[in-house]
Amino acid sequence: AADLTSEALTFHEARTAVHKDYDAAFKYLLEGEGGGSRALAWLYPFVVNCATGHFQAISTSVRSIAAKLETISENTRKPLAIQTDEAARSLRSLQRMEAERLQLVAAHHAEQGRLMLLQLGHGRGGRPPREDELNAVLASVADYRRQLARTAEEINEVASELKYAVADMRP
């Protein structure tokens, strides 16, 4: 059980790296040399597709590990059964939080793209943006940033608890 939980944590670290690469690719398309609205329109779907493939593979692996832990928990005596069940529940919780984080990242990227267009002078209907429109998008970007920070903190807390669980499960 400890080895499986440790393996799941390795997948979690890989998912964190994919998130960083995904966000870095978006920022490069948004702000890098040759970046901007055209680069986002043409290349962002490719970036999303690549990231999605990695996230799906990692999620499948973590769900599989959680299922194995649940089976072990059913066939093991206490206290290891309790620890194994808690690890499985924590992994399921981590999966839900990671799915939420991915949705927040996508929404944050969309709002940042909207902000870029407004800052370039492209408001609704092709007219210059109004100040209240720009301020609303700025507030939305900031709100998504706060939600992402809170979600990352919650994810890190669960991952930390799982690291302690691994130590507790070992003889």
**Alpha-helix runs per DSSP H in 75-121:** 80-119
Q: What is the pTM of this model?
A: 0.87
Give the pLDDT band of residue 123 (cuts 50, 70, 90): low
In 3D space, the residue among 94, 88, 95, 97 whose CA is nearest the CA of residue 169 turns out to be 88
**Alpha-helix runs per DSSP H in 2-79:** 2-31, 37-74
Cα Dmax for the chain? 68
- Using one digit for the tens of pLDDT, what is the confidence trace for 21-47? 999 999 999 988 888 888 888 999 999
First to last CA, the chain: 11
Main-chain phi, psi angles of 13, to 5 degrees: -65, -40
Mean pLDDT across the chain, nearest whole number?
92
Share of the chain above pLDDT 90, in %: 74
More confident: 130 or 46: 46
